[in-house]
Structures are given as structure tokens and as C-alpha cells.
Amino acid sequence: MIIVLKPHSSPEVVAHVLERIEALGLTPHLSQGVSRTIIGVIGDEQKLQVEPLQAIAGVEQVVPILKPYKLASREFHPEDSVFEVKGIKIGGGHLAMIAGPCAIEGEALLYEVAVRVRDAGANILRGGAFKPRTSPYSFQGLGEDGLKILRNVGDQLHMPVVTEVMDPRQIELVSRYTDMFQIGARNMQNFDLLKEIGKTRIPVLIKRGMSATVKDLLMSVEYILSQGNREVILCERGIRTFEDSTRNTLDLSIVPNVKGLSHLPIIVDPSHATGRPDLIPAMAMAAVASGCDGVHIEVHSCPEKALSDGPQALVPDQYARLMDELRRLAEVMGKTIDVCEGEPVSCAPC
């Protein structure tokens, strides 16, 4: 850590800062120049980063050198992490192809979509039972009934399933039905939720918040990891900018950026990022070409009647065409798309 003092700092100020640093058991290195005095600090920087050194009178700037996250960092774990969800690998060259409707609306509908996306090559089924809707007057999800449907359809088709959890009180319930938790963008800094999820041993897909930097995202991941749950997958889903012709702005540079900073897999959700079916295929292609570990796409068999986010869903035919292209691209990129084992069986009512 480097501490820059204001111009013309008095010897008292310098002495006070040195004293504070030594009181923390760390060693300061003083460099006095003509216009500024600089203090380098050697020692456990993590200790120092939580101290309000910036608040000391006479301090102009505090420059941290080390990353504020540990367990998520590539320095801590140099190899790519690879996780397995019911036989489907994610990371280390294996692409997660997550697809399904935004919300679970009923068993027949989910089964219909699931069969189609599985045929097209999807290897994880998604569907929301608890929905974070901007308006209190919108459909809020089927709750436990939805979870049962998701589990049943997943089992019939031998597909692992992922669903969102929004509230620490839902974790126990959701954990009985899902293979992977999803934490939504709006909850990326719901720290109590992160801590509770961190105590489970179920893989987590965590979406980047709309105004989260790469560092913020990795700090939220650190909350989960530090509780003992090591299976965390990141998901870019667009950030909020001034551009208003798309729902959000997809920031694909986070993919190679995270690959440098962390060992964890990162996937991309072009559905929420663009909100526009006409842009989703191109952005899914771009995502895979950027080196990500999977793509998350919303598919609905009748978007104009969907109870949630219909306008951004692909129909199954569009998804199938896109998967054909993604497969060709994955081959050029040297990536594998794991296939769900077994034969689908017809879906019995749950």
C-alpha cells in the first residue's frame, strides 16, 4: 500500500501517519520528494485495506497495491477451476449451455421448451420460480409449485437444473429441488444472501450487478467462497449505461479480464444484456469467441404470452439455429459442449 501525503506536510503529520502504521504491526518506508512525501507500507496489506487511512489529516491519497480478494484470485489458485453439475462440466474448456424460459409457468410448457432446447444441445435447464420483478403488479413466480415442476422436468430429461433464490429464507426450500443456485443481478450485493448461500455446498451462478465493476463482482464472490462454498460461476449480463437502444450494455471484456484475475468460470447471458431477440444470436457468438465458459439464453415457445420477459425470449427454432452456429464456433475455439446423458422420458405430472 502506498500513502501519498499532501504537499508541504508538517513533520508532525508525517510522524502521526508513521505511528498509525507501526501500531498495526507494519513497516513504513518513507520517500521524501520536492513536492510530495510518499510512504510505502510493507506487510499484510489486507489488514491495512480495512483501515480508514484516507481519513487521517494530511493524507492526500491511499493507493492499494494488492487485490482486496484472495480466494477468488488466480494468485491463490493458478489453475482454471472446473466444476461439474450432475455430469455436465463447466470451465476448463467445457461450455455450459443453459437455456429455458424466464419463469416456470406450468409443466407442459416447461417440458415442451426443455425437450426442444435439449435436442438443440442445451445441457442445463433454467426456469424461475421466484421472480424479482420491477413492478409489484407483475407475475411473481409459482414458488414451490414451480420448483417441483422444474425438478420433475429436469429428471425426465436427465438435465441438471438452475433456478434463482432471492431470499435467505428460501435457501433450504430451493436446495431441495435445484442442482445450482442462481443469484440475480439485483441481489449481487445482498450480503446476507451471499453468506447463507456460502454455507451450502451447491454450485452457484452469480450474475454481475447492473452497476458492479469487475472488482465488486469478485468481492461478492469472495463472500460466498469465504463461507466454504467453492463452486461459484460468474455471469455477465450487461451493465447500465447511457445507451438506450438495448436493455443493458453487454460488457464482454469482462471475460478475458476475469480470466486474468480469477480461476473461476464465467458465462454470458445475452438475453438480459440486450433484451432483443434480433441481437441475441450475434452476442452469443461473440461471447463464445471471447473465451467464456458458457451461454445462458431464455427460450419460450410463445413469447407473446410469456408471463415474464417475453419480448427478449428466443423461440425454440431460433435457439436451435443458433446452437448449430455455436457448435461450429466452439470447435474452432477448441471447446467442448457436454451432452446430457440418457434418453428423455415423457413427463408425468408432478
Choose between 55 and 348: whose C-beta lies nearer to its own copies.
Answer: 55
**10-15-21-22 Cα dihedral, nearest 10 degrees:** 170
Task: Report the residue number, 122 or 314, with the smaller CB distance to its own copies.
Answer: 314
Give least dist CB 145 to its own copies, A: 18
Nearer to its own copies, 175 or 246 (CB): 246
CB of 271 to its own copies, least distance (A): 12
**208 neighbors 217 (Cβ within 8 angstroms):** yes
E strand intervals along the chain: 2-5, 27-32, 37-42, 59-63, 83-85, 88-90, 96-100, 124-126, 161-164, 180-183, 204-207, 232-236, 266-268, 294-298
Q: Which three cell numbers stand for residue 325?
A: 452456429
Helices (H) and strands (E) in the chain, counts: 11, 14
Q: How far is the CB of 238 from its own copies (least distance, A)?
A: 9
User: Would you say 159 or 292 has its CB closer to its own copies?
Assistant: 292
In whole angstroms, how close is the CB of 219 to its own copies at the nearest point? Answer: 5
Nearest approach, Cβ of residue 59 and its own copies (Å): 9
Q: Hey, what amino acid is at 203? A: P
- Residue from 247, 290, 254 nearest 272 by CA: 247
Closer of 77 and 133 to its own copies (Cβ): 133
* Residue 172 C-beta: closest distance to its own copies, Å: 12
Q: Exposed, middle or buried by CB within 10 Å (0-12, 13-18, 19+), for 67?
A: buried
What is each CA distance from 309 to 136, 137, 154, 299, 336, in whole angstroms?
15, 14, 22, 10, 30
